[in-house]
Structure 1
Amino acid sequence: MTTRSLSRMASKALSYNLTRKGQVNAAGISAASKKAVEELLLVDAETHHCYFRSAGLHNHLSHHLLAAYDLGTTPSHLKKIYTTEAGYQRPIILEKKDASIIVNDDNWGQYLGNQSAYGAFFKYFSGKVAELGAGPALEKYVFDPEVNDKGKVMLIRMMSGAYCHISTRCSRLRANPPFSVHPFIQIGYGVEFGDDTLVATGLAQAAIHTPTAPELYDVSFTEDTKPTSSSLSVLEILRKVYDSNTLAPKLPYDPDALFSARIKHFLDPERVAEIRGICAQFHVSGNDVSSEVEELIWASTLLMAATGKRGRKPRLDFFLMHLVTSSIFLNPMLEVLQNPISKANLVKSFLTVVVLLTLARGRPRIDPALLMSYSPTARPPLQGLKPNESATGSPLDDADYNPWPAILGDVVFHPDAHVIKTIRTLAYATREYGATPAGAATGALLKNKDEESHKGTKEMDGTIFARAAGLVMDYMGWVAHGQKARPDWDRSALGWDAAWDKDAD
């Protein structure tokens, strides 16, 4: 029996259709593009492993396809994306002997963390999602106390995600991989677009991941945390992280330090207690977490786009960027979860990821005023706009210009899936929060005070998302307008001052 037929049997009763619209749902989506993306996603799910290299480099093909689809790209372009990336994927069954692995209710725990069992996990979770539905399957296999006990820690596995870049010493990461929340992203695409097959692949991906820093997560599976007047906002939590002497970077700056080593540096008992104590001041009720999700999206954007240095060329950190690309999935995940405890644990876990990534990058400080200094009307290098005199207003005038059509029209052609994913989140955030006036973002001011939580938050408004989008395009390249794509994001660990001793370019 072939690998493909094995996988097809696994997903026989499982829907692969997109049953929900994406959160951007841009003009350009058609029946033909929907059919094309559904078919390509199914082939990817049935034939490819979630790692295209053994060291934990993730298959981003489904992410790339759905992000481009949601931004309105064509069937022809979707097929070109697939062809470009499918060629270097690994088969879902890595070796012949792996085809004999059978995961069932009795033994699935023994295969956790074993990438050779990915195909077997996909088959197992396909059956569970088909039987229970996406939401109940997530409740049972990610958020239930039983699957978070005795080392299973499925919630933390979902929020982890091994990753190393091709140029790094990947073999050294296997024992203690860094994380970029890839299983959460994979499941997030599945629930956002209503594709149950993707949910099954995401559960399988979570199952084979090594949990990163489980001792940092302060979640409860028995009672819902009720919000109190003493609860801090995400920006206030970030202020406490910056102000903590215990959490100051103590490692000397090493540009070649492994990400895993930087994480391990914060896992001594004193620092673990400090991180847990700070995060515990973020009280979440699962009955209504819309405000907390908004706060996390604002903070994620600031950590990616407002952590540069004045007077220096901008840098966009690879790992902090993943906060932006993953934060868009908080609301879709919360919509399919019914248990308020599960909802609260998801949001609190994401905050832990925010804090740990910030520390692992050298505790870079957000500078909202720096982000507000960037243009909210970014333009591609070659425009060719020549409005007729009969036009009302002029796109050549910044006061009349909307940057988003040019941004969305260009970014779908960028070869780096992370760029498209980042812009999609920022487009969504602009739609949801773009009208926020200066100083009105939750946490811009310290509770019961007129003091800014961070310098510049009083002037910060909803244009930060358009400004961040323009920064991303200028940094990574307007490829449809003649610029060459930047080969990678910044990996200098820009929170260390020594990382800025010379320009990264």
Structure 2
Amino acid sequence: MFTSTPLGPTRPQSSPYNIQLSADETPGDTHVEGLTQQSADRVSELLMINYARYHTLFDAVGFHNHTVHHLLTLFALGATPDEIRAMYDLNIGYQSLVQYRPASVVVQLKDRSFFKQCIGDLSYYDSFLRYFQDEIAQRGVPDVVNEYLFANDEISNDILGRMHSGFLHPMIHLGCALEFNQPLLVAEALAAGCVHDDWPNSFLFPTEEMQAAHSEAPSKSMLDIMDQLHSDPVIRNAVQLTDPINKISDGLLAKVREKLIPYLAQYRVSPTEEELAQQTTDMVHTCAYMVGAAQSPGKVEALDFVMLHTLTLSIFYTTFLAQDWISQSNKARLLHFKVWGDLVTYAGCGCATLYADRITGYTPKRPTDGWTEIAHRASVYGDDGHISKVTRALLHAQGLPDPRPEFPLRKEDFIKIAHLGLDSVERMLEPEQYKVPESIRKKVGEEMGQDEEIIRVMVRWVRWCGVEGAWDEFPDKPVSGNAAARLVDMD
């Protein structure tokens, strides 16, 4: 007689149509100890709501839905279910509902000519998303990503370039998807790439062509090229605060793109395992240094909102290296594109002077806090996720091999940047410190109709930190007791 044993309830699995995290199996590559399944389930639930209801952007000028990146970071930093829900609730009110096109459009996207026509159109986000979900369901993540990002043909090159647009958010989304092993998020990342602008293509592929034409030229480090850019007055002074809102595409590149490309082409990586690992570590450390050291003499500490995206993306390049289905040459290409974009970002921020002593000599407000306390402070800070992402990226930077001997920072300095960053944003919680300049209140609040949380983002960070006038609205740095005494003696 045939009998069977009831299987009992089974936990949902991640798939191209479902997001499901596991505290044991998908904790992320950089995380604190003690992650719970309750938090994993809360993030999974909220990300499924986000997937079903909201667009990857909530404004045509490029404001992004950070929900995926934020909640995954909170999970990895050990946030509780209630803390995760609180951050979700804080930011969900200003998201845009996704526009659903007929299912027939997904079928039409199988036609390459129609696919190309739809690229760059925000209204096709949902159609691209469903298309990539179906593709991944049929063929798997490796085949789909290799075809649509790494095939080195017209469509894949176009999408790969667009993935580096929008302050790198499509690439950040892809990194999240692969780090936490969520196929649905891979589909979201590819769909986001398809509807972003293509302005990075204007320097990425010309740089690649110039590099190929001078294959024997010696390579320079990212930091060395930053020094060269800083020494070039035409590039250093190209961006002005009066330039359009995207000062990189419509300011820097519109003015000095041709002059930039020879500098970028000096950075090259050999597609060997050892070289890729070394150069990835150096890129991560350089981004952390750039973000932390780009301060203004006489002003309180602040992190640059534009620059910090180079750091929050950097965390995922060790994840990319770990994917055995990405070829060594494509891993090198990803790293090239990352560093070239980072250098363009640095130039777009006016080639800011970097002050290593603002990091190494920084005195934290809570000096006894270690990574556990810092992670919790970042998790409960009420923003759209940028400070928690910065914090996790710095935890990742400290976990890599030591910086090269000539590098300006040592391994123990990365936690100082985390302190500096948290102290700078927590300053807004102090009485009389949250002050919105009238120009921002008028433009962002009144003219653009943005939520108060977006206005807070605009004043929480400095922007274009090396450009004249960028720090005008920031408070002066208090004079220390010893320095004040010296000033009195001088009088």
Pick the TM interval, shorter chain.
Answer: 0.7 to 0.9
Displacement, 1:498? 4.1
2:395 is equivalent to residue 427 of structure 1? yes
SS of residue matched to 1:52: coil
Aligned to 1:285: 270
CA distance in 1, matches of 2:305, 2:345: 11
One of 97, 112, 120 as aligned partner of 1:113 = 120
One of 333, 338, 362 as aligned partner of 2:320 = 333
SS of residue matched to 1:374: coil
Q: 2:307, 2:346 within 8 Å by CA — same for their partners in 1?
A: yes
One-letter identity of the residue aligned with 1:85 = N
Aligned to 2:447: none
Displacement, 1:202? 0.7
Normalised by the length of structure 2, the TM-score is: 0.79
2:361 is equivalent to residue 373 of structure 1? yes
Aligned to 1:410: 377
Residue deviations 1:211-266 (CA, integer Å, cap 9, x gap): 12422114659x99999793211111212222234423145x43x53342453343
One of 300, 305, 318 as aligned partner of 1:313 = 300
SS of residue matched to 2:235: coil
CA distance in 2, matches of 1:224, 1:343: 16
Aligned to 1:35: 41
Residue deviations 1:92-149 (CA, integer Å, cap 9, x gap): 226xx66764352212111101111011000001112222322332211112112457
Q: 1:492, 1:504 within 8 Å by CA — same for their partners in 2?
A: no
Aligned to 2:417: 468
Aligned to 1:165: none
Change (3 A) 1:28 1:214: same
Displacement, 1:78? 2.0
Aligned to 2:464: 493
One of 48, 51, 54 as aligned partner of 2:54 = 48
SS of residue matched to 2:61: coil
Residue deviations 1:333-358 (CA, integer Å, cap 9, x gap): 23235222211111011111111111
2:106 is equivalent to residue 135 of structure 1? no
Q: 1:225, 1:284 within 8 Å by CA — same for their partners in 2?
A: no
Q: 1:192, 1:332 within 8 Å by CA — same for their partners in 2?
A: yes
SS of residue matched to 2:346: helix
2:404 is equivalent to residue 441 of structure 1? yes
One-letter identity of the residue aligned with 1:139 = N
Q: What 5-or-longer segments of structure 2 have no aligned partner?
A: 1-13, 436-455, 477-491
One-letter identity of the residue aligned with 2:163 = M
CA distance in 2, matches of 1:105, 1:14: 19
Matches within 5 A, 1:103-502: 103-106=108-111, 107-148=114-155, 153-161=158-166, 180-218=167-205, 230-250=218-238, 253-254=240-241, 256-267=242-253, 271-288=256-273, 289-336=276-323, 337-375=325-363, 378-380=364-366, 401=368, 403-416=370-383, 417-433=385-401, 436=402, 440-441=403-404, 444=407, 457=408, 460-477=409-426, 487-488=456-457, 489-500=460-471
One-letter identity of the residue aligned with 1:209 = H
One of 13, 16, 19 as aligned partner of 1:16 = 19
Normalised by the length of structure 1, the TM-score is: 0.77
Q: 1:411, 1:478 within 8 Å by CA — same for their partners in 2?
A: no
CA distance in 1, matches of 2:182, 2:213: 31
Aligned to 1:385: none
**Greater helix proportion:** 2
Identity %: 23
Displacement, 1:54? 3.2
Q: 1:493, 1:499 within 8 Å by CA — same for their partners in 2?
A: yes
CA distance in 2, matches of 1:409, 1:239: 36
Change (3 A) 1:104 1:276: same
Change (3 A) 1:480 1:113: same
CA distance in 2, matches of 1:247, 1:293: 26
Change (3 A) 1:482 1:327: farther
CA distance in 1, matches of 2:434, 2:269: 41
Displacement, 1:497? 4.1
Q: 2:280, 2:317 within 8 Å by CA — same for their partners in 1?
A: yes
